[in-house]
Amino acid sequence: MKYEKLEKGLIYDGSPIQPFWAFTEHKVKGSSIVAWIGPLNIEPEELIDYEDVGLEIKADKMMHFIVEHFDRQPADLKTCYHRQRILVMITKDVLSELGINTTREGDDIYFEGKKLSISIATCSNSSMKIHFGMNIINKGTPDDIETIGLCECLEDMDDEKIDKLIDKICESYINEIESIEEDITKTRVF
Amino acid sequence: MKYEKLEKGLIYDGSPIQPFWAFTEHKVKGSSIVAWIGPLNIEPEELIDYEDVGLEIKADKMMHFIVEHFDRQPADLKTCYHRQRILVMITKDVLSELGINTTREGDDIYFEGKKLSISIATCSNSSMKIHFGMNIINKGTPDDIETIGLCECLEDMDDEKIDKLIDKICESYINEIESIEEDITKTRVF
Amino acid sequence: MKYEKLEKGLIYDGSPIQPFWAFTEHKVKGSSIVAWIGPLNIEPEELIDYEDVGLEIKADKMMHFIVEHFDRQPADLKTCYHRQRILVMITKDVLSELGINTTREGDDIYFEGKKLSISIATCSNSSMKIHFGMNIINKGTPDDIETIGLCECLEDMDDEKIDKLIDKICESYINEIESIEEDITKTRVF
Amino acid sequence: MKYEKLEKGLIYDGSPIQPFWAFTEHKVKGSSIVAWIGPLNIEPEELIDYEDVGLEIKADKMMHFIVEHFDRQPADLKTCYHRQRILVMITKDVLSELGINTTREGDDIYFEGKKLSISIATCSNSSMKIHFGMNIINKGTPDDIETIGLCECLEDMDDEKIDKLIDKICESYINEIESIEEDITKTRVF
Amino acid sequence: MKYEKLEKGLIYDGSPIQPFWAFTEHKVKGSSIVAWIGPLNIEPEELIDYEDVGLEIKADKMMHFIVEHFDRQPADLKTCYHRQRILVMITKDVLSELGINTTREGDDIYFEGKKLSISIATCSNSSMKIHFGMNIINKGTPDDIETIGLCECLEDMDDEKIDKLIDKICESYINEIESIEEDITKTRVF
Amino acid sequence: MKYEKLEKGLIYDGSPIQPFWAFTEHKVKGSSIVAWIGPLNIEPEELIDYEDVGLEIKADKMMHFIVEHFDRQPADLKTCYHRQRILVMITKDVLSELGINTTREGDDIYFEGKKLSISIATCSNSSMKIHFGMNIINKGTPDDIETIGLCECLEDMDDEKIDKLIDKICESYINEIESIEEDITKTRVF
């Protein structure tokens, strides 16, 4: 599983959730996690969550993670949502190591009751996809929901910390998935 | 998914990891999490982890959790290990809320570098099983590994706290799995 | 699994066979059976059965059932067609209890050699869908096939009987699927 | 799918539910339905239904059907229980054509409230198995449950009718499964 | 599994790789291999291989094979690529029997280092598809790759030999897949 | 996927076909191909092929290959038999490069009509296993079947050639499986 950090800020308009985006747009082939910093503004036709239909989903500056897995053929949504939860729980853990204590409900992370992140999982027949985004600043978010950004969660949050945080989340996730694969190969079944 | 707490202390000899143990021994039918407090002493023929062959696996007082899932037919080890990770991460989270800050490597939880827990996942064609055990006291554990018990992690740990901790872990896990099931029903796929 | 009866007559144009129709159109989330009374007139672009291409599929008044299942991930057509058969066989049984003795060939029900019903099953990666429709009156059906309606099968068929029939089919189907799920949890495998 | 009728009466002791019984005992290779007339007396170690543990399961004269399917790899219990229901529903239908009106609950057939049949489904990783048995006479059955035999359900039931009934059930089942396979090949999916 | 040889030369524009093409265009229902002789000129919007985007894929005269399998529900790309390899290896073998010794890399066949064939595999939720094409003459192929045709590989290659070659490949492939299905029914599993 | 060549001659008694043999006996963890030279004498209780029951299966000197795959969860026999065919076809190819022209029927390789090899595939819920053995000398084989050894197929066959042949088969197989995995990650699906 590869980790690619995009240097160029990219707007998340929903299209990166499509299968094979990492390969067709960024030449990243195979299972991968691609991360970058950029705004969020999901086009209605790119919506994956039927409960979000009609809602505005936007933010000025987020860290974005796009995960794609090819290890299950056919791919399935159930496995993908388990991995999404693992990604979100890892993030909560990494934040806690930074001193940012958050709460989690399903795939949402909150800081002092304010929404810090968004996420969705989906799949095609051949790959499983996850988008996970976390506000860096609390600007440009919808009015109807109280949100927060990482810069408000920690006093001395800076670009370097943000950068390391992104790396840490990606590396921890890759390690986790690999350790699961490895545990399979040591286990007696019935 | 049902939660059953066994009042009677039961030695964990490895046999509860067998499929249908909850039903044949405790009349708990269907997907479930069964929890109890008791010693650990795994019989060699009940070993699931091929890496543990030849090792002594024992402890005097642990909280035990046995999970069984019937929602995937056929059952598979990969899904099961994802759920094991989710169970362990939930436990780490619940401990942290109690003020016990631990670290995690795969399915092991450590407190100050000392091993607090053990876990394994396995499956048959029709069900997925997880055992997760956490030391309450640090007695009767193998000599060749540094271990610790929950009572040493928190000064005022008592029976009531232990009891609530067990409930919280089980309820959080059940909620998590149910929320995953629900997310599937709101998600557009490709 | 939920049962929803729509009070408003709805034309079946083929679109309800699309995944997530129950949720996006009627706020029915999760596995469900939705039933209503209305005409049938399938738009060519909504055709699921490649053998029906070029045929007129229409009727003036039918009872319609739309089933959606999310319990298998990934969803598959084979399971879905087994369930379609179970739904049709349950219907034949319920009709027989009313004194209407029919014959069945695959997913078609006949009364005295005349076609009483139509059905199709399909799926996406995440859900399995079934449409089953049964003529209430024998009007507006294609000329090239001999059809019949329930009102001609039983002398004293009335709105109340129709209504109860719909409920009985839906409840029996839901019970059947649930009893299958339950049987899995009592069965030793090899 | 092959149909084999065994001429020699064979006691059903539970062992025919084991995978590959048709091949190792009767040289019937591949997916098949094997039928015969004989007593029932299930050995405790052959029990498949955990709810039957401790019960006597016996009868003096039954028609037995053993189904084995190799068309899903890996085999799964959920598909198998769907097929079991289809087999039982087909039987109810065929009985009804003979003038024997029965009721059904899950996989049990009743005549005037008395139990006429027994059934179980199971699987290994590579094949799905069903046993379905129906009393011909009401002798040798357990005392704690009211049972009945086909000879009591119909006045002029005789060996020839029994024989034709067996053939009809098997042929209808085979046709049904084949028609499902065929429907898959005409169906547009999403 | 059916074998259909189309007499009429057909241009391969990429559309035959779509699911159900054999049925909707040629009334071949179910799992099949369809073969014909014709040019190749893949429309960009029909491209399946993301690595081919932007490339010209064309040739004046090829033998084409389109395989479709419905035996796995859901269908999956991994199984399909295994079958593609088997088809290509069978072809290499059949060519070798004709005295044409080739080399193979993945799904490509080479003669004296020159590309003789192209292939792709894909699937929908319900069927697995393979296209395999082999140059008969070396005309109309892209300039940027060295290609060759069967007529240059063997001095006395003629229409009858080509015709028999097509038959041999198709029959061998069908036999192989059927022999795999049969081996499953003789094998003990753990 | 790992390749391990055992230096110590080992008798193939059938036990290496059991899941996790590579790990429990030779510390080779994960998907692997293990090869060695040694006699064959399958114990009746280790038989996997029900058609071999009662037959003597033995030889004095063979090259043995044991493959285990953990990449599909649950593992299935159908995928495993496809891989077995690929392994056998690769071997036929590699032999042909050495100047040994053989024929193949399913998983058997023949030289001048004499049987050169044996093979079986099987699986548990978590891994797929293949045994492939090829006679080096034609000694100790059953009387009722005409067999041959590699040393009779090629005049100057020696230990070094045998050794390189084993390496070539293993490496080619590993490359093939890896190239299939990679092709999945470049393919558009429907």
CATH number for A47: 3.30.930.10
In angstroms, the CA A37 to CA A160 distance is 13
Neighboring chain A residues of B188 at a CB cutoff of 8 Å: 47-50, 122
In this predicted model, what pLDDT tens digit does every residue of A152-189 receive, in sequence order? Answer: 999 999 999 999 999 999 999 999 999 999 999 999 99
Query: Which residue ranges of chain C lie beneath pLDDT 70?
Result: none
Neighboring chain D residues of C96 at a CB cutoff of 8 Å: 96
- Mean of the per-residue pLDDT values of chain F: 97
DSSP string across B63-129: EEEEEEE-SSSS--HHHHHHHHHHHHHHHHHHHHHTT---EEETTEEEETTEE-EEEEEEE-SS-EE
Write the residue in B23, B73, B74 that is nearest to D50 by C-beta. B23
Other C-beta atoms lying within 10 Å of the C-beta of residue A66: 25
Which of the four pLDDT bands, split at 50, 70 and 90, describes residue A8? Answer: confident
Write the residue in D24, D73, D125 that is nearest to F50 by C-beta. D24
F18 DSSP 8-state letter? S
Segments of chain C assigned E as strands: 2-5, 32-41, 58-69, 103-105, 108-111, 114-115, 117-123, 128-135
Mutation site for E-interface testing, chosen from F90, F103, F129, F189 by largest number of E Cβ within 10 Å = F189
CB contact under 8 A, D78 and C47: no
Do residues A172 and A165 touch, judged by C-beta distance below 8 A?
no
- Mean of the per-residue pLDDT values of chain A: 97
In angstroms, the CA B6 to CA B26 distance is 9
CB contact under 8 A, B73 and C184: yes
Handedness of CA F36, F41, F45, F47 (dihedral sign): positive
Strand order in the sheet with D117-123: D2-5, D32-41, D58-69, D128-135, D117-123
Write the residue in E50, E78, E124 that is nearest to A73 by C-beta. E78
Written as six digits, the tokens of C30 are 């999760």
Nearest one of A128, A126, A127, A130 to A117, comparing CA atoms: A130
Count of CB pairs separated by less than 8 Å, A with E = 23
Within its chain, how far is the Cα of C157 from the centroid? 20
pLDDT for F8 equals 86
User: Phi/psi of residue E100, each to 5°?
Assistant: -100, 105
What are the residues of chain E with a beta carbon less than 8 Å away from any beta carbon of chain D? 19-20, 23, 29-31, 70-73, 124-126, 181-182, 184-190
In a domain? residue F190: no
The count of residues in chain E is 190
pLDDT in tens, chain E (190 residues): 999 999 988 999 999 999 999 999 999 999 999 999 999 999 999 999 999 998 989 999 999 999 999 999 999 999 999 999 999 999 999 999 999 999 999 999 999 999 999 999 999 999 999 999 999 999 999 999 999 999 999 999 999 999 999 999 999 999 999 999 999 999 999 9
Residue E125 three-state SS: coil
In a domain? residue B189: no
Write the residue in B19, B73, B189 that is nearest to C124 by C-beta. B189
A54: exposed, middle or buried (Cβ count in 10 Å: 0-12, 13-18, 19+): exposed
Neighboring chain A residues of B184 at a CB cutoff of 8 Å: 77-78, 81
C-alpha distances in Å from residue A22, one per residue of C81, E120, F187, F189:
36, 21, 13, 16
The structure tokens 């629900």 sit at: B182
Return the biggest CA–CA distance within chain B: 53
Nearest one of B110, B112, B68, B113 to B91, comparing CA atoms: B110
Which of the four pLDDT bands, split at 50, 70 and 90, describes residue A5? Answer: very high
Amino acid at B164: K
Do residues D19 and C190 touch, judged by C-beta distance below 8 A?
yes
In angstroms, the CA B142 to CA B131 distance is 19
Segments of chain E assigned E as strands: 2-5, 32-41, 58-69, 103-105, 108-111, 114-115, 117-123, 128-135
The count of residues in chain F is 190
pLDDT for A9 equals 84
Mutation site for E-interface testing, chosen from D18, D185, D186 by largest number of E Cβ within 10 Å = D185
Strand order in the sheet with A114-115: A103-105, A108-111, A114-115
Average pLDDT for B110-129: 98
pLDDT for B9 equals 84
Residue E173 three-state SS: helix
B19's CB contacts (< 8 A; 6+ apart) are A190, B68, B123, B124, B126, B127, B129, C189
CB contact under 8 A, C125 and A53: no
Helix axes D77-97, C159-184, angle to 10 degrees: 130
What are the residues of chain B with a beta carbon less than 8 Å away from any beta carbon of chain D? 20, 23-24, 73-74, 125-126
Helix axes A159-184, B77-97, angle to 10 degrees: 130
What are the residues of chain F with a beta carbon less than 8 Å away from any beta carbon of chain E? 18-19, 47-51, 72, 77-79, 81-83, 85-86, 89-90, 92-93, 96, 104, 106-107, 120-124, 176, 179-181, 183-184, 186-190
In a domain? residue D190: no
Average pLDDT for F5-32: 96
pLDDT for F127 equals 98
Mutation site for D-interface testing, chosen from E185, E186, E187, E190 by largest number of D Cβ within 10 Å = E185
In a domain? residue A189: no
Neighboring chain F residues of E43 at a CB cutoff of 8 Å: none
Return the biggest CA–CA distance within chain D: 53
Written as six digits, the tokens of A137 are 């600043």
Q: How far is F23 from chain B (nearest CA, A)?
A: 8
C74: exposed, middle or buried (Cβ count in 10 Å: 0-12, 13-18, 19+): buried
In angstroms, the CA F38 to CA F57 distance is 14
In angstroms, the CA D127 to CA D6 distance is 21
Cis amide linkage into residue D74, ω under 30° from 0 = yes
In this predicted model, what pLDDT tens digit does every residue of E128-181 receive, in sequence order? Answer: 999 999 999 999 999 999 999 999 999 999 999 999 999 999 999 999 999 999
C-alpha distances in Å from residue F68, one per residue of B79, F3, F75, F84, F130:
20, 11, 11, 11, 7
In this predicted model, what pLDDT tens digit does every residue of A125-161 receive, in sequence order? Answer: 999 999 999 999 999 999 999 999 999 999 999 999 9
Neighboring chain D residues of F124 at a CB cutoff of 8 Å: 125
Number of H helices, E strands in chain D: 4, 8
CB contact under 8 A, F189 and A23: no
In a domain? residue E188: no
Write the residue in D92, D104, D123 that is nearest to C190 by C-beta. D123
Write the residue in C51, C79, C187 that is nearest to D82 by C-beta. C79
B99: exposed, middle or buried (Cβ count in 10 Å: 0-12, 13-18, 19+): exposed
Task: Output the 3-class SS for chain A.
Answer: CEEEECCCCCCECCHHHCCCHHHHHHCCCCCEEEEEEEEEECCHHHCCEHHHCCCCCEEEEEEEEEEEECCCCCCCHHHHHHHHHHHHHHHHHHHHHCCCCCEEECCEEEECCEECEEEEEEECCCCEEEEEEEECCCCCCCCCCCECCHHHHCCCCCHHHHHHHHHHHHHHHHHHHHHHHHHHCCECCC
E175's CB contacts (< 8 A; 6+ apart) are none
Count of CB pairs separated by less than 8 Å, B with C = 43
Neighboring chain F residues of E83 at a CB cutoff of 8 Å: 82
Average pLDDT for B168-190: 98
Query: Which residue ranges of chain D lie beneath pLDDT 50?
Result: none
In this predicted model, what pLDDT tens digit does every residue of F61-110 receive, in sequence order? Answer: 999 999 999 999 999 999 999 999 999 999 999 999 999 999 999 999 99
In angstroms, the CA A129 to CA A75 distance is 10
Write the residue in A20, A23, A184 that is nearest to F70 by C-beta. A184
Q: How far is D123 from chain C (nearest CA, A)?
A: 5
Separation of first and last alpha carbons in chain E:
30
In this predicted model, what pLDDT tens digit does every residue of A71-90 receive, in sequence order? Answer: 999 999 999 999 999 999 99
Do residues C25 and C8 touch, judged by C-beta distance below 8 A?
no
Q: How far is C81 from chain E (nearest CA, A)?
A: 11
Q: Which domain holds residue D57?
A: 2-183
- Mean of the per-residue pLDDT values of chain B: 97
Neighboring chain B residues of A184 at a CB cutoff of 8 Å: 77-78, 81
Q: How far is E77 from chain F (nearest CA, A)?
A: 7
**D-chain residue closest to E70, CA distance:** D185
In angstroms, the CA C117 to CA F106 distance is 46
Indicate whether B156 pLDDT > 90: yes
CB contact under 8 A, B81 and A19: no
C-alpha distances in Å from residue D152, one per residue of C71, D149, D158:
41, 6, 11
Do residues E66 and E22 touch, judged by C-beta distance below 8 A?
yes
**F-chain residue closest to E104, CA distance:** F93
In a domain? residue F122: yes
F15-41 per-residue burial string, b: 16 or more CB within 10 A, e: under 16:
ebbbbbbbbeebebbbbbbbbbbbbbe
pLDDT for D8 equals 86
CB contact under 8 A, E125 and C77: yes
Residue E31 three-state SS: coil
Q: How far is D122 from chain F (nearest CA, A)?
A: 15
C41's CB contacts (< 8 A; 6+ apart) are C11, C12, C13, C57, C58
pLDDT for B185 equals 98
Q: How far is B124 from chain F (nearest CA, A)?
A: 7
| DSSP bridge pairs for C40 | C12, C59
In a domain? residue B139: yes
Q: Which chains touch C (3 or more CB pairs under 8 A)?
A: A, B, D, E
Residue D122 three-state SS: strand
Residue E101 three-state SS: coil
Neighboring chain F residues of D73 at a CB cutoff of 8 Å: 76-79
| DSSP bridge pairs for A38 | A62
CB contact under 8 A, A185 and F70: yes
CB contact under 8 A, A77 and C23: no
Write the residue in F72, F184, F188 that is nearest to A70 by C-beta. F184
| DSSP bridge pairs for C118 | C133
Write the residue in E126, E184, E189 that is nearest to D184 by C-beta. E126
Residue C47 three-state SS: coil
Neighboring chain B residues of D84 at a CB cutoff of 8 Å: none
Strand order in the sheet with E103-105: E103-105, E108-111, E114-115
In a domain? residue E189: no
Write the residue in E50, E53, E123 that is nearest to A125 by C-beta. E123
Report the alpha-carbon angle F173-F177-F180, nearest 5: 140
| Structural domain total, chain B | 1
Helices (H), C132-158: 150-153
Do residues F87 and F130 touch, judged by C-beta distance below 8 A?
yes
